[in-house]
Chain A
């Protein structure tokens, strides 16, 4: 098991949104989170990534094995594509960026400042960052925003290669990635029930 979430409850802005979520991810497995807007997909992923503490429950993941990608790509406009990627490679203690460049077809753009890229190209650069980290568990929040059909296929290919190499991925997305092997996990049944109005204890909610 590379990632195990047990009985997790998460809150957004102090209000519980999801409760009792349990899921497990084995090497080579991909899990796609589904659910309507506002159900708490982003909150859940941020909790799994360790950016915010859970209300209750546990997230177990091997140390130094998780990488998170959110709505924003963290790309610096004045740095070139190559500089952006090698920065993250250094941060994660790896050196090689050509595989990532090739996987997302960034070769021709390599020396272009990231500020001159289109939205879709920026997104590809953001996703290429996942490859240079060398981390096993990808936690991705809406990775396909502003990608065209070809780029989505490129992304699906990268995920597939990652899974084949023993990695795992937890992805929140609305669209069909064309990843037939990915399991679908619907969050709708886990929506947190509102607390009784007369519950005036410790927390105020």
Chain B
């Protein structure tokens, strides 16, 4: 495959045209998989012998946590693309992904608290994983605030991209620092590629479906928001030009 052809989609017009066609498909597929995964997970899996029915919140918690991290990774990649190749769509996609990622982080934190209350007997504990997600939330907050604070679009794109790079390094550092600071109560990763699985297939399959649904939901939301950002940017440009000519 010719990778260079990929850059065509960096053209805003081409991007809008293409997403016009694929966005509905993504949206419907996301809805379908989410409904399937969640209904399956909530109503057609047996209760866990230890955790009872509370375990079923996993079908929201784990996919949201997954997307919370992957959204930041996506922002990191698109920021790098903006810095290196200066495609506006790339910077706008990073901007579009940030609030989605932040909401995913919030969902992961909230569902975690709801789950933790019956399991650990507390809504919140300064456990490394919880703390890391809280820190991730703060990074999202700062990133979005910086975008909002700067008027010039290109300046904002440059500054937020660099913040995203530096922030990624510090987020990683914080992750290890927090691990070092407190060895917590959170169970190990729910899914593992290693043999000796921790979860039964009965639980795992709907989780995969639900995760797929979250991925598609994320893609659909980011595409939608990127289109909005492109149009907003275009509108600002037109307004600025009108002011110039007046």
Judge A-B direct contact (beta carbons within 8 Å). yes
A interface residues, Cβ below 8 angstroms from B: 13-15, 194-195, 197, 200-205
**What 9 pairs across the A-B complex have the smallest Cβ distances?**
A204-B237, A200-B13, A205-B237, A204-B233, A204-B234, A15-B240, A194-B241, A14-B154, A13-B152
6 residue pairs from A and B, CB less than 8 Å apart: A14-B237, A15-B244, A194-B244, A202-B87, A204-B236, A205-B241
Q: For the complex, give the distance between the alpha carbons of A201 and B10 in Å.
A: 9
Contacts of B152 in A (CB 8 A): 13-14
Contact flag A201-B11 (CB < 8 Å), given A13-B152, A14-B153: yes
CB contacts (< 8 Å) of A202 on chain B: these are 10-12, 87-88
Residue of A at shortest CB range from B13?
A200
**Complex interface residues of chain B between 206 and 246 (CB less than 8 A to chain A):** 233-234, 236-238, 240-241, 244-245
Q: Is the CB of A200 within 8 A of B241?
A: no
CA distance A201 to B237 in the complex (A): 12
Closest B residue to A197 by beta carbon equals B238
Interfacial residues of chain B within 1-60, with CB under 8 A of chain A in the complex: 10-13
- Return the chain A residue nearest B244 by Cβ: A15
Q: For the complex, what is the distance from the CA of A15 to the CA of B10, rounded to whole Å?
A: 21
A residues near B12, Cβ cutoff 8 Å: 200-202, 204
Report the Cα distance A116→B236, complex, angstroms: 44
Report the bound CA distance from A95 to B154 in whole Å.
Answer: 40
Residue of A nearest to B240 (CB): A15
Additional 9 contacts, C-beta under 8 A, given A201-B12, A205-B241: A14-B152, A14-B153, A15-B244, A194-B245, A202-B12, A204-B12, A204-B88, A204-B234, A204-B236
Pick the residue among B13, B154, B241, B244 that contacts A201 (CB under 8 A): B13
Query: CA separation between A201 and B240, bound complex, in Å?
Result: 17
Distance of A197 Cα from B244 Cα, bound (Å) = 13
Identity of the chain B residue whose Cβ is nearest the Cβ of A205 in the assembled complex: B237
* Closest residue of B by beta carbon distance from A13: B152
- Cα distance A194–B87 in the bound complex, in angstroms: 22
Asked if B88 contacts A203 (CB within 8 A), the reply is yes
B88 to chain A, nearest CB (A): 7
**In whole angstroms, how far apart are the Cα atoms of A15 and B154 in the complex?**
11
Would you give the shortest CB distance from A83 to chain B, in whole angstroms? 34
Q: Which residues of A contact B240 (CB under 8 A)?
A: 13-15, 205
| Cα of A15 to Cα of B243 in the assembled complex, Å | 11
Q: Write out the residue numbers on chain B whose beta carbons fall within 8 Å of the beta carbon of A201.
A: 11-13
A203: nearest chain-B partner, CB-CB? B88
User: In the docked arrangement, what's the CA distance between A15 and B233, Å?
Assistant: 13
Chain B proximity of A106: nearest CB distance (Å): 37
A201 to B238, CA, bound (A): 14
CB distance from B20 to the nearest CB of A (A): 14
- Residues from chain A with a CB closer than 8 A to the CB of B236 are 204
Closest residue of chain B to A204, judged by CB?
Answer: B237
Question: Which chain A residues lie closer than 8 Å to B10 at the CB level?
Answer: 202
Residues of A within 8 A of B245 (CB): 194
Chain A CB count within 10 A is highest, among B12, B87, B237, for B237
A194 to B237, CA, bound (A): 11
Minimal beta-carbon separation of A39 from chain B (angstroms) = 12
Nearest CB of chain A from residue B233's CB, rounded to whole Å: 5
Chain B's nearest CB lies how many Å from the CB of A204?
A: 4
| CB neighbours of B238 from chain A (8 A) | 197
Contacts of B244 on A, CB cut-off 8 Å? Answer: 15, 194
CA separation between A205 and B12, bound complex, in Å? 12
| Residue of A whose beta carbon sits closest to that of B155 | A14
What separation, in Å, do the CA atoms of A201 and B14 have in the docked complex? 9
Complex CA distance for A194 and B11, rounded to whole angstroms: 20
Chain A neighbourhood of B241, CB < 8 A: 15, 194-195, 197, 205
User: In the bound complex, what is the Cα–Cα distance between A21 and B234 (angstroms)?
Assistant: 27
Name the residue in A194, A195, A205 with the highest tally of chain B Cβ atoms < 10 Å from its Cβ. A205
B84 to chain A, nearest CB (A): 15
**In the complex, chain A residues whose CB is within 8 Å of the CB of B153:** 14, 204
| Nearest-CB residue, chain A, relative to B10 | A202
Q: Which residues of B contact A204 (CB under 8 A)?
A: 12, 88, 153, 233-234, 236-237
